[in-house]
């Protein structure tokens, strides 16, 4: 039986994706887990693999076209096998709507009907659109009345809404033009900004705005801050890096990730998500590492990080960061905890917003040399770093949050415990 090739979601709240390119043509043989096409979501590019051995029977969504997440974009099966296309009836209806209605006179009667319908549409106050078109427009926050319909009597089809999304809304003279399909989105950096100008948000910025607004409105955050003595961690890092090549060099952030993975293992209550009135304690520890790009923030995920050594974390993090900067990700696995490190940006401390459905995020500041009072009352110069845990008060309380962040602190202040 033929298997569907599914448009991946590629992140929470993602509703659609665009097929960038097909690596196989219809009729080509494919192997299970072979990359068959690439798709682009609002934040990254993903490689989609074949679910089985067989033949690419049908490309349902051509390169450059948009499809809903979890919908079929292609089919793989045995050569000659018949397939039943997803939403076949709707496809037939759309095809019927797209067929010109011409008489022997050569006049396009369909076009005349659409013009009349458009003129009367405003009078009646009712927009003629298919159910699927309305659903897609609603998901994308589009006023369906401004979409031009190509169906009979000006009826708006799902394909009309997709075409509108790909084209982008008209932009006034005081705004920058919307990016074309497949084009690089402009980076909202200080250098690119023009005083007095209004510009549309990039796709990544739209996702960030939507998700973080949702997080702050629906999650009761509380915050716990600790100061970590990083003197021994820095010495341990220098010792490790003196014996390895550049690709295996460990960063301080890698040590924070390792310490957090150990702490999540000791405190599984933090490695959870909320499902209605239930707390779901997650089996895997998957830590997202926030990466800043020119046009926003992405969070590639280190999967099952508790099974990785410090060296393994360093190597995998470099791979994920390089992919993220190239606009790609190699995993659809959701994170269970996130670390946002702004230490390289000369920041003393900050608080981060939780990335739902996770229940906590760790904000890491810069390492500073400070004079501290030792236990023997002497003054010493030590390397210190601030960390702030943002936690969901529905899942955690202050005591648990304090114990958890202090467990991370213990690991960093006793760096030999990170080497196991």
Residue with tokens 């973080």: 212
Superfamily of domain 98-175: E3-binding domain (4.10.320.10)
Return the SS3 of 293.
strand
Tell the CATH superfamily of the 207-418 domain: Chloramphenicol acetyltransferase-like domain (3.30.559.10)
The string of DSSP codes covering 96-119 is HHHS--B-TT--BHHHHHHHHHHH
Query: Would you call 389 helix, strand, or coil by DSSP?
Result: strand
Are the C-beta atoms of 174 and 197 separated by less than 8 Å?
yes
Burial of residue 28 (CB within 10 Å: 0-12, 13-18, 19+) is exposed
Query: Would you give the DSSP letter of residue 258?
Result: H
Q: For the chain, which residues make up each domain, given as ranges?
A: 3-86, 98-175, 207-418
The pLDDT value recorded for residue 86 is 56
Q: Which two tokens stand for residue 216?
A: 């702050």
| Angle at CA of residue 229, ends 226 and 231, nearest 5° | 160
- Supply the residues annotated as catalytic: 393, 397
The whole-number pLDDT of residue 172 equals 29
The dihedral sign for the CA sequence 291, 297, 298, 304 = positive
> DSSP 3-state helix, strand, coil percentages of the chain (rounded to 5)?
35, 25, 40
**pTM for this one?**
0.62
Report helix, strand or coil for 195.
coil
Cα–Cα distance, 405 to 259 (Å, whole number) = 10
Asked if the domains 3-86 and 207-418 are classified in one and the same CATH topology, the answer is no
pLDDT given at position 163? 77
Beta strands in 299-403 (DSSP E): 301-302, 337-341, 360-373, 379-392
Residues of the chain under the 70 pLDDT cut: 10-14, 42-43, 85-126, 138-141, 165-192, 295, 330-331
**Phi and psi torsions of 14, nearest 5°:** -80, 130
Closest to 49 in 3D by CA, of 79, 86, 24, 84: 24
pLDDT at 258: 97
pLDDT score of 183: 33
CATH fold for the domain made of 3-86? OB fold (Dihydrolipoamide Acetyltransferase, E2P) (2.40.50)
CA atoms within 13 A of residue 417's CA, in its CB half-sphere? 14
């Amino acid at each position: 039986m033929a298997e569907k090739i599914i448009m991946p979601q590629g992140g929470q709240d993602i509703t659609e994706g665009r097929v960038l390119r097909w690596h196989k043509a219809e009729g080509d043989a494919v192997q299970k887990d072979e990359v068959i096409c690439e798709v682009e979501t609002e934040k990254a590019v993903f490689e989609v693999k074949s679910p089985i051995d067989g033949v690419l029977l049908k490309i349902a969504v051509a390169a450059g076209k948009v499809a809903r997440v979890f919908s079929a974009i292609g089919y793989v099966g045995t050569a000659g096998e018949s397939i039943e296309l997803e939403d076949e009836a709707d496809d037939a209806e759309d095809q019927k709507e797209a067929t010109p209605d011409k008489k022997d006179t050569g006049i396009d009667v369909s076009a005349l009907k659409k013009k009349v319908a458009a003129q009367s549409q405003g009078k009646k106050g009712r927009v003629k659109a298919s159910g699927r078109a309305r659903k897609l427009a609603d998901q994308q926050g589009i006023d369906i009345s401004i979409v031009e319909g190509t169906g009979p009597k000006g009826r708006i089809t799902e394909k009309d809404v997709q075409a509108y999304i790909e084209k982008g809304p008209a932009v006034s003279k005081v705004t920058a033009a919307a990016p074309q399909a497949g084009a690089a989105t402009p980076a909202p950096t200080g250098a690119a900004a023009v005083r007095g100008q209004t510009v549309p948000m990039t796709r990544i910025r739209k996702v960030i705005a939507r998700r973080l607004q949702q997080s702050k409105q629906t999650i009761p955050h509380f915050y716990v801050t600790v100061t970590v003595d990083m003197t021994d961690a820095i010495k341990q890092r220098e010792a490790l890096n003196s014996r390895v090549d550049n690709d295996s060099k460990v960063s301080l952030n890698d040590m924070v990730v390792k310490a957090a993975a150990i702490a999540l293992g000791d405190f599984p209550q933090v490695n959870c998500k909320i499902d209605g009135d239930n707390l779901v304690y997650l089996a895997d520890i998957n830590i997202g590492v926030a990466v800043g790009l020119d046009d926003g923030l992405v969070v590639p995920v280190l999967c099952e990080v508790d099974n990785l050594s410090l060296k393994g974390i360093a190597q995998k993090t470099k791979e994920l960061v390089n992919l993220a900067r190239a606009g790609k990700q190699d995993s659809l696995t959701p994170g269970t905890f996130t670390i946002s490190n702004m230490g390289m940006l000369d920041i003393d401390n900050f608080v981060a917003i939780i990335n739902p459905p996770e229940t906590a995020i760790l904000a890491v500041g810069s390492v500073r040399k400070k004079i501290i009072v030792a236990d023997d009352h002497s003054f010493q110069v030590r390397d210190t770093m601030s960390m702030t845990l943002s936690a969901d008060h529905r899942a955690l309380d202050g005591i648990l949050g304090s114990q958890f962040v202090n467990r991370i602190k213990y690991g960093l202040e006793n760096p030999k415990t990170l080497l196991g």
